[in-house]
Amino acid sequence: MKNIFRRIASMLAVAVVATMSLVACSEEEVAEPNRLAAPEVDVVYRSESFDVTWKAVDGADGYVYSLNGAEEQTTTATSVKFAGLKYGSANTLKIKAVDSSKAYADSEWKTVSLTLNTAFKLGAIELAVSGQTESSFVVSWNAAEGAEYYEVALGNGAAEKVNGLQKEFTGLTEGVYTVKVRPATSDADYAPAAWVSINAKTQESIADELAANSYLIEEAGAYVFAPFKGNSGEAVENIAGVGLLWQDTPGLITEAGLVDGKVRFVVAEGVYGNAVVYAYGAGGNEEILWSWHVWVPEQQVESLPMITGFNVMNMNLGATTAAAADINAFGLCYQWGRKDPFTGSPTLSGTTATLAKPIYNIDGEEGEFDAVMTPQSVEFAIANPATFISPYGVDYADWCSTSDDALWGNPDGNYREQGSLKYYNLGEKSMYDPCPAGWRVPPIMAFSKFTSTGAAVMGNYASTAVADRNGDGVVDTNDYNCGYYMTLSGTTTTFFPAASRWYGAYAALYGSVVGHSGVYWSNSVYKSSIASQAESKQATACLNFMSPAYAGTCFVSAMGGGARSDASSVRCVADKE
């Protein structure tokens, strides 16, 4: 009986367990039906809004979403838009598919994270300055795609809404101002544009006491000056107009004209180089009365002390940099005694086929210098500043038909104390001196300590001022790099590039010695056996050096002789020592 009872009890227990299992399975199928697929979303976002779209999920009749943890929202659509957000904000969207009949379980949450840092962008703008006067200027810009208006600010002042493409600023004191402009729109789908800045300078009137044949310009802007003949104080009369004769960098000078009897020119922002502006008479722009060099270097011009008591420029006249082995350090070339320059080499080293750098008119069209193959007068040189004057085929000859030792202000500059390097006459700045105000062509004494004797030195670096620039502790041929660094005094050095010269006898750049020969004019004449034959063959004292490769050894001459018809480099010294 007991065994039968146990068997019946066991059977009942199994039946109960089986029944419970069936009930449990039935309840699980009701509580956990098939799960919906999560929505696959596409997002289009802008600066302050974004749109989310998705394909309908099979079995779903609605969707639940939440942005940045906010209260859950429902929709039966397959898209949703979010607006009024902050540009640059980070956002998290959760969305899931649901079935209100509960035949299907809710889908997993689909999470989308995005930062509103990509948006429609307004078009770019470029700024320009024009219409400068002593108290005003105009800043203009191009139309930016998508812009409804523009925000403009002067310096740190409040931004002003401008509907046009320019803004005139008036009532200013003379100086340089920063103007900021940016395109703008009320459409929140566009990202805020960045500010674009430009330095705008009121027209500067160059003082009469700074009159010279060369004007050193350190900032872009408009300038006016009284038309004097160099530093003479003598005014150029009967001027009918002013124009740009040439520039060696297209776009450097954007305007040149005559305003209230003064020469006016405008230098572009971020452009460096040289130009020559000129005044012409009633006979038209072919009748040149006088001309002036406009020099716009990128590197600041500095004054460096020399052991000889002078202060010398840190770069060549017309150079835009003082850096070694840089074509922009070569500067311009001058026939001795003339005030107007010619361009130098366009390359650091040249050949017999190398021509001088091209020149351009105000429209950027390329031109070239003229040449005349017979000596001419000073008056001809003044009236033809872009014409090279050559005594064709004659070495050590003068471009001037009547030689004038005083053209650069030091006719007796070659005389010195017996047995010393001290020269009696240092000269004065002349009307034809090509250096800017405060500077002049140096007397030969300025270079006299570049060699121990003041004369030429060959094969002995220890007897020269050549500096150790490669840092190996030895002054040798390895210190030559398209020129030499020369020790001026103590540890002060500066680079003298081997810019070559124009060969006067043939009115062409001496291309084969570009990078190998440096010739630097002084204001002093040079009366040696070379020049003693005839007045027309008088030479001029100059600093001269050659590369070791070209000379075969070290060669530096502190007082060489150069032909006046050659066009060579000028390194100005301070006018008042």
Beta strands in 248-325 (DSSP E): 253-259, 262-267, 273-280, 288-296, 303-305, 311-313
- Measured between alpha carbons, how far is residue 420 from residues 12, 223, 385, 526 in Å? 137, 46, 39, 17
Which fold would CATH assign to domain 208-296?
Immunoglobulin-like (2.60.40)
Answer for the pair 207, 221: CB distance below 8 angstroms, yes or no: no
**What is the distance between the alpha carbons of residues 528 and 537, in angstroms, rounded to a whole number?**
10
Answer for the pair 337, 432: CB distance below 8 angstroms, yes or no: yes
Q: Residue 309: which region, alpha, beta or left (left: phi > 0; alpha: psi -120 to 50)?
A: left
Answer for the pair 76, 57: CB distance below 8 angstroms, yes or no: no
Both tokens of 60, joined, read 């779903």
Q: Residue 307: which region, alpha, beta or left (left: phi > 0; alpha: psi -120 to 50)?
A: alpha
Digit-by-digit pLDDT tens for the chain (577 residues) are 333 333 323 332 333 333 333 344 444 444 467 999 999 999 988 778 899 999 999 999 999 999 999 999 999 999 999 999 988 899 999 999 999 999 999 999 999 998 887 668 899 999 999 999 999 999 999 999 999 999 999 999 999 999 999 999 999 999 999 999 999 999 877 888 999 999 999 999 999 999 999 999 999 999 999 999 999 999 999 999 999 999 999 999 999 999 999 999 999 989 999 999 999 999 888 899 999 999 999 999 999 999 999 999 999 999 999 999 999 999 999 999 999 999 999 999 999 999 999 999 999 999 999 999 999 999 999 999 999 999 999 888 899 999 999 999 999 998 888 888 888 999 999 999 999 999 999 999 999 999 999 989 999 999 999 999 999 999 999 999 999 999 999 999 999 999 999 999 999 999 999 999 999 999 998 865 444 444 434 688 999 999 999 999 999 999 899 999 999 999 999 997 5
**What is the distance between the alpha carbons of residues 74 and 62, in angstroms, rounded to a whole number?**
7
Q: What is the dihedral of CA 563, 565, 566, 567, to 10 degrees?
A: 140
What is the model's pTM? 0.80
Q: Where are the alpha helices (DSSP H) in 367-508?
A: 378-383
**What is the distance between the alpha carbons of residues 403 and 405, in angstroms, rounded to a whole number?**
7
**Span 41-115: which CATH code?**
2.60.40.10
CATH architecture, domain 127-202? Sandwich (2.60)
- Measured between alpha carbons, how far is residue 163 from residues 140, 148, 168, 527 in Å? 12, 7, 13, 71
Domain boundaries, the chain: 41-115, 127-202, 208-296, 305-355+365-574
